[in-house]
Structure 1
Amino acid sequence: MNDTFLLLGLINTSSLEILSFTLAIAMVLLNIKQSPWAWLFAIASAGLYAIVFYEAKIYGDMALQFVFVAISLWGWYQWLFGGGDRQGIAVSRLTTKGWLIVAATWALAYAIVAAILQAFTDTDVVHIDAFLTAGSLVAQYLLTRKTIENWHLWIGIDLLYIGLYLHKDLYLSAVLYGLFAILALVGLLAWKKSFAAKESII
C-alpha cells in the first residue's frame, strides 16, 4: 500500500499517502466546524502518516504522529465533556502570559527533540524537523483547548512544512500542507466569528 506511483502523471505518491491526505483534510474541515468527530479523523490520519514519515526518514514528524493520537483522545474528551458544566469547552483567546508560555514551551521542546534526533537517528533535517515537531505539539495542544491562536501557529507551521516535504519528495503532502495553511486561515476567521458571537451574548 506504500508503493509509490505517479498520480495523474505529475505527483509521486502512494496509496497510503493519499488515504492519509484525505483523512487529514476531513479532520481540518471538521475542526473548523468545531465538531468533536474531527478527533477520530485525526487519530486515523496520524496513524497512517507515521508510516509515511518513517519511510521518508522524517523521524521527528513520525514520532509526532503518535503524540497526536494521544492528544487527539484528550481533545475529543475536552470538546465533548470539558468545561465547568461538562458540556464541552468554548472558543477562547491567549493572554500575554499564555503567549510567553507558548514561546518557552516551543523552544524547550525544540531543544529536546533536536538533541534526540541528532543522537539517535540518521535524519538530514534535524533542526527544521525538530522546530516543526515542537511547534506542532504546541499548536495541537492549543487546538484541544479551542484557543483561537492555534490557527496562527498552524498557518506558519504548515507553510514551513511545504518546504520540508518538497525537500523529501513528498509532493502530495506538500500540497496537503498548502491546503492546510488555507484552511487554517478559514478556521481562524470562523473561530474569531464564533468568539465574537459568544462575547456579544455575554
Structure 2
Amino acid sequence: MNDTFPLFGFATTPLELISFVLSVATVLLNIRQNHWAWLFAIVSSAAYGVVFYDSRLYGDAGLQAVFIIVSFWGWYSWLHGGAQGQVLDVTRLDRRGWIVSLAGWAAGFVLLSWFLKTWTNTDVPHADGFLTAGSLLGQVLLSRKKVENWHAWIAVDVLYVGLYLYKHLVLTAILYAVFVVMAAIGLRAWSRVAR
C-alpha cells in the first residue's frame, strides 16, 4: 500500500489516495451534521496515521490515534450529548470558551513541540507541534458541535498545505487546500443554524 505511483504528475501511494477520499467524505458529512462522519473519521485517521508515520510527521501520526479516540466520543456526543441525552445542537463558544481554547492551543503547542524535538527525529517539530495542537482543538470543538471548530480548521488547514508540500505529500496538500474551502462552507452552514 506504500508503493508510489504517479497521479496527475506527482507521486502518491494507494494508502494516501484512500485516506484522501475518506477524509473528503468525512468533512462533507460533518458539514451536513451527519453522525456517520465519525465512522469515516475513524477509518481515514487510521489510514493517515500510517501515511504520516512513514513521512516522519510523528505529531500528525499520533494525532490520528487521538482522532480515533475522540471520534468515538464525538459520535456519542452528537447523538446523546444534548440536554437530557438528546441530539446535540450547534452552538457558539462564549468568551470564556474562546480564552480556554486559545490557551489550550498555546499550551499544546509548547508541550508537543518540546516532545517532538526531544524524543523524535522529525525535522519540523515546531510546525508539527503547532498544527497538531490546533487540530486537537478543532476536533474537540467539532465533537461538541461548536461553530468555532471551523475557524480552527481554516487556520490549521491553510498552514498544513505548506507543511505537506514541504514533506512532498502533494495529494495531502491538495486535500488540505480543499479542506480550507470545505471549512469555510461548514462555517457558513453551521453559523446559520447555531443557537
Classify the TM-score, shorter chain: over 0.9
Separation in 1, partners of 2:150, 2:83: 24
* Aligned residue number for residue 5 of structure 2: 5
Separation in 1, partners of 2:170, 2:2: 14
* Aligned residue number for residue 97 of structure 2: 98
Separation in 2, partners of 1:160, 1:66: 21
* Aligned residue number for residue 128 of structure 1: 127
Matches within 5 A, 1:89-168: 89-168=88-167
Between 176-185 and 113-122, the greater mean CA deviation after superposition = 113-122
The one-letter code matched in structure 2 to 1:62 is: A
* Aligned residue number for residue 171 of structure 1: 170
Separation in 1, partners of 2:142, 2:67: 11
The one-letter code matched in structure 2 to 1:58 is: L
Q: Which runs of 5+ in 1 are unaligned?
A: none
Q: Which runs of 5+ in 2 are unaligned?
A: none
The one-letter code matched in structure 2 to 1:128 is: A
The one-letter code matched in structure 1 to 2:127 is: I
TM-score (norm 1): 0.95
* Aligned residue number for residue 181 of structure 1: 180
Separation in 1, partners of 2:123, 2:191: 39
TM-score (norm 2): 0.98
Secondary structure of the 1:85 match is: helix
Separation in 2, partners of 1:168, 1:6: 17
Separation in 2, partners of 1:60, 1:66: 10
Separation in 1, partners of 2:179, 2:191: 18
The one-letter code matched in structure 2 to 1:84 is: A
**1:5 Cα offset (Å):** 1.1
Separation in 2, partners of 1:94, 1:84: 17
Would you identify which runs of 4 or more consecutive aligned residues in structure 1 move more than 2 Å?
A: none
Deviations 1:171-200 (A, max 9, x none): 0000000000000000000001112xxx5x
1:26 aligns with 2:55: no
* Aligned residue number for residue 80 of structure 2: 81
Separation in 2, partners of 1:117, 1:128: 10
Deviations 1:143-197 (A, max 9, x none): 00000010011011000000000000000000000000000000000001112xx
Separation in 1, partners of 2:45, 2:89: 25
1:192 aligns with 2:163: no
Separation in 2, partners of 1:189, 1:3: 39
Deviations 1:87-120 (A, max 9, x none): 2110000111111101110111111111110111
Secondary structure of the 2:33 match is: coil
**1:81 Cα offset (Å):** 1.1
Secondary structure of the 1:93 match is: coil
**1:58 Cα offset (Å):** 0.4
**1:85 Cα offset (Å):** 2.5
Root mean square deviation, CA, Å: 0.7
Give % identity: 51
